[in-house]
Amino acid sequence: MKRYIYLAFMSLGLSLPHVSAEVSGRVVLVEKGGQTRNVVTDVLVYLDNGPAGSPEPDTVRKLAMTSRDKQFEPRTVAVVVGETLTFPNVDDIMHNVFSLTKGNRFDLGLYKSGASKDFVFANPGLVRVYCNIHPQMSAFVHVLPNRRFAWAEPDGSFRIEGVPPGQYTLRSWHEEGESSQPIVVSEQGAGNVMVKLDISSFKKRPHLNKFGKPYKRKRGKY
């Protein structure tokens, strides 16, 4: 009887109340020539287009992207819509963190060492973050609708917990490429999911400053 109830909910695109499962698998980064990368870093795996499921946890997460040694640390962060990300500056120089991404555009202005600024992300999507003074500083903020995501481990393994049964699109992202595939999550979950992420055609391109112009070098260095 339980199985028939589950199938009925699935056919209607609904999820069973208070039922959650786990999605697990492995990500493989495919480079030029079909070679696979030995160590997986900064790969986000998340579920999209699924049932509403249960409410998000009430826990408030403290999230930060720090300006350190003229770099962002960490370089990739995932937040849920409505969450606040703090941008501390621990360098002995000024920084000006900004993004021109539509829907989550912001400019924190110049601020010195020891100071920090906050921004609340209101819309889902990938946000590209830069410093208006140092062009080598670039980062990514993934704004997601819920917490059904995970960062892959160095061996490529990942585990997403608390997933209501249903039909989803499983997406994976890396700075050098991304992929998507349909997935069905049963009451028992979905295991041994293989994700192949093709990064063979990646080419790094320079970005512009917050005024849409190329960066100007000062005294030969940034």
Please write the tens of the pLDDT for every residue from 8-34. 545 555 544 557 899 999 999 999 999
CA distance 207 to 222: 15
What is the location of CATH 2.60.40.10 in the chain? 2-51+150-198
**Look-up of token digits 């079909």:** 34
- Rounded to two decimals, the pTM is 0.86
Write 202-206 long-range contacts (CB < 8 A, 24+).
Answer: 202/175, 202/176, 202/177, 206/135
CB contact at 8 A, 91 and 134: no
170 has a pLDDT exceeding 60:
yes
Give the helix/strand (H/E) hosting 160: strand 157-163
Nearest-angstrom CA–CA distance, 172 and 140: 14
Specify the CATH number of the domain 2-51+150-198.
Answer: 2.60.40.10
- Average pLDDT value over all residues in the chain: 90
Q: CATH second-level architecture of 63-144?
A: Sandwich (2.60)
pLDDT tens by residue, 195-219 = 999 999 999 889 999 999 999 876 5
Range list for CATH 2.60.40.420 in the chain: 63-144
Report, as an integer, the average pLDDT of 157-176: 96
Strand ranges across the sheet with 44-48? 149-151, 44-48, 166-174, 177-185
